[in-house]
């Protein structure tokens, strides 16, 4: 290694850090106490000394029946929260029998076409006792309401349900592409969800504003913080403009970040993000409730850093990434399986990923004290530097007119692509070492048998849809969908789309039919010149 060492964000590392390396500020005031503004040291006074983080495992593949079996295995292994992965057609608001769904059913997650599938997915699971996270964005309202309907069948009231829907469509325009509607209409639907959940699902996290996918696309830690918080500001503005009081919905906002192998910078990133959000909510939006100022976040270890070469080495990477998330104060954590660079995780790999969290939580001393790295000159200096650079980047977005305007210009996407390209050049040129890829390689890889999705699942889903449509009351379904179209065409609290979606789903409308009804009114998004 030659030349000056720099962090993932391009911040120079010093060989030794001293007190005068911190920015010129009152360090005690900037840090504060755990559980107190500005929450740099964590959002709860006792953090893990009182209760460990929620140990989630992101899972879902093939049919609802297969995924249900995996969930039961994970619960038996000790996971404390489920996290649902949906297949691409479900994410795009398409039924499994749609022509565009061909070849994609059940491949990257579970296929959920109707409340019947959701019922099967959670069969035998106490929805009043488990916290469920659903990684779903454009059709988030539909999947949440399916879940609520199934819970009601189980006798679990909506007010008792705990969990999260990702519901962060702005980052889809930046980094993932599973958007359906134009940004303005997507923000309208997000606001409808905030309003509906405040009245009906008060313990549910209505959005998980995600930097993870931007990081996986190549964003640096500074870009991850800046672009995530800029999107969050846009959501809060939209809700306030719709007449919601900030303290009525902000306590249920959640965030979702990546955790890389660069442990110290990741810890600093989490601390900087917490501090920035506390000031944004108090100073910019006038929040009074301390819970509105708390940045609660889920973390997933960095899938983009896993390698298909020597996949067992990923066990080490994931352990370090998970440790960084814990030392950074995450509220819940998913650890990737070591074989995910090859295919969907096998049962054994998923269990090992969960065991990684359990070893950190129960065998190390990482959870024995609150904020173990507080006062580290290196961490505090890096926290200050990340905050300073992230604020500068957010100011550039504000100058463009906010996150949506910047998205239309393609700003965030372009910046992320530049960062990803720089990393690729560094790996190709040998300036960045990736064990097993460009250094410490082996002549021949050992064979590995990946998990494969049964190709018959697509046909089975199509047959189930045919039976569903043959046995439901079509006139009731059509009437419910017409009511949804009318609400989508209107504005204001009286035209909230979610009650109409719930009625349609209860009548056994499919997810694709609900999305189509909204497409009829709102249209679909077509990327402009910036994208």
Closest CA to 136 of 103, 96, 100, 176: 176
Tally Cβ neighbours within 10 Å of residue 427.
14
Q: Which residues of the chain have a pLDDT value below 70?
A: 1-4, 17, 21-30, 528-531
d(C-alpha 485, C-alpha 465), whole Å: 22
CATH architecture of 53-362: Alpha-Beta Barrel (3.20)
Q: Name residues whose C-beta falls within 8 Å of residue 425's C-beta, 6 or more positions apart in sequence.
A: none
* Inter-axis angle of helices 64-77 and 347-362, nearest 10: 30
Cα(first)–Cα(last) distance of the chain, in Å? 37
Q: What is the pLDDT of residue 1?
A: 40
Which residues share a beta bridge with 300?
258, 334
Q: Which residue has the tokens 């599938």?
A: 117
pLDDT in tens, 206-226: 999 999 999 999 999 999 999
pTM of the model: 0.92
> What's the pLDDT at 3?
57
How far does CA 112 lie from the centroid of its chain?
Answer: 19
* pLDDT value of residue 30: 65
Residue 414 CA to chain centroid, in angstroms?
A: 21
Please count the other Cβ atoms lying within 10 Å of the Cβ belonging to residue 364.
Answer: 11
DSSP state of 30: H
pLDDT of residue 111: 97
What is the reported pLDDT for 31?
Answer: 78
Q: From CA 53, how far away is CA 37, in angstroms rounded?
A: 21
């Amino acid at each position: 290694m030659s030349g000056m060492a720099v962090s993932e964000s391009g911040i120079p590392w010093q060989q030794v850090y001293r007190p005068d390396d911190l920015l010129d500020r009152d360090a005690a005031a900037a840090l504060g106490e755990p559980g107190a503004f500005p929450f740099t040291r964590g959002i709860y006074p006792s953090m893990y000394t009182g209760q460990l983080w929620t140990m989630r495992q992101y899972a879902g593949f093939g049919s609802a029946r297969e995924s249900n079996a995996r969930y039961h295995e994970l619960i038996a292994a000790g996971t404390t929260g489920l996290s649902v992965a949906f297949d691409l057609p479900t994410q795009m608001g398409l039924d499994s029998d749609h022509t565009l769904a061909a070849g994609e059913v059940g491949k990257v997650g579970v296929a959920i076409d109707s409340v019947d599938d959701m019922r099967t997915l959670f069969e035998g699971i106490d929805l009043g006792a488990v916290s469920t996270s659903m990684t779903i964005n454009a059709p988030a309202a539909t999947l949440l309401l399916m879940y609520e309907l199934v819970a009601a069948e189980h006798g679990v009231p909506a007010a008792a349900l705990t969990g999260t829907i990702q519901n962060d469509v702005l980052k889809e325009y930046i980094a993932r592409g599973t958007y359906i509607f134009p940004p303005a209409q997507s923000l309208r639907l997000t606001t409808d969800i905030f309003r509906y959940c405040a009245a009906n699902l008060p313990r549910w996290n209505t959005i998980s504003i995600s930097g993870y996918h931007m990081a996986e696309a190549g964003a640096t830690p500074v870009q991850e913080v800046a672009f995530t918080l800029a999107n969050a500001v846009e959501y809060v503005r939209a809700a306030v403009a719709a007449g919601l009081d900030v303290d009525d919905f902000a306590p249920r906002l959640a965030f979702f970040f990546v955790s890389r192998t660069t442990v110290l910078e990741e810890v600093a990133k989490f601390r900087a993000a917490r501090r920035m959000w506390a000031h944004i909510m108090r100073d910019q939006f006038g929040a009074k409730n301390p819970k509105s100022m708390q940045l609660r976040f889920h973390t997933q270890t960095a899938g983009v850093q896993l390698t298909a070469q020597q996949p067992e080495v990923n066990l080490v990477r994931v352990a370090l990434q998970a440790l960084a998330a814990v030392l950074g104060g995450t509220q819940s954590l998913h650890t990737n399986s070591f074989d995910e660079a090859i295919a969907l995780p096998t049962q054994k790999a998923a269990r090992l990923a969960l065991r990684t969290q359990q070893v950190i939580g129960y065998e190390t001393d990482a959870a024995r004290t609150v904020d173990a790295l507080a006062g580290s000159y290196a961490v505090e200096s890096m926290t200050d530097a990340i905050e300073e650079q992230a604020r500068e980047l957010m100011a550039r977005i504000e100058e463009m007119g906010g996150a949506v305007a910047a998205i239309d210009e393609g700003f965030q996407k372009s910046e992320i692509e530049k960062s990803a390209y720089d990393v690729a050049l560094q790996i190709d040129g040998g300036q960045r070492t990736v064990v097993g890829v460009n250094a410490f390689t082996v002549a021949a890889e050992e064979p590995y048998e990946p998990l494969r999705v049964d190709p018959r699942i697509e046909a089975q889903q199509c047959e189930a849809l045919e039976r569903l449509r043959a046995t439901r009351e079509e006139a009731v379904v059509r009437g419910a969908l017409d009511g949804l179209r009318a609400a989508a065409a209107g504005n204001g609290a009286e035209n909230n789309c979610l009650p109409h979606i719930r009625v349609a789903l209860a009548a056994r409308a499919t997810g694709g039919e609900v999305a189509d009804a909204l497409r009829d009114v709102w249209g679909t998004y077509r990327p402009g010149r910036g994208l």
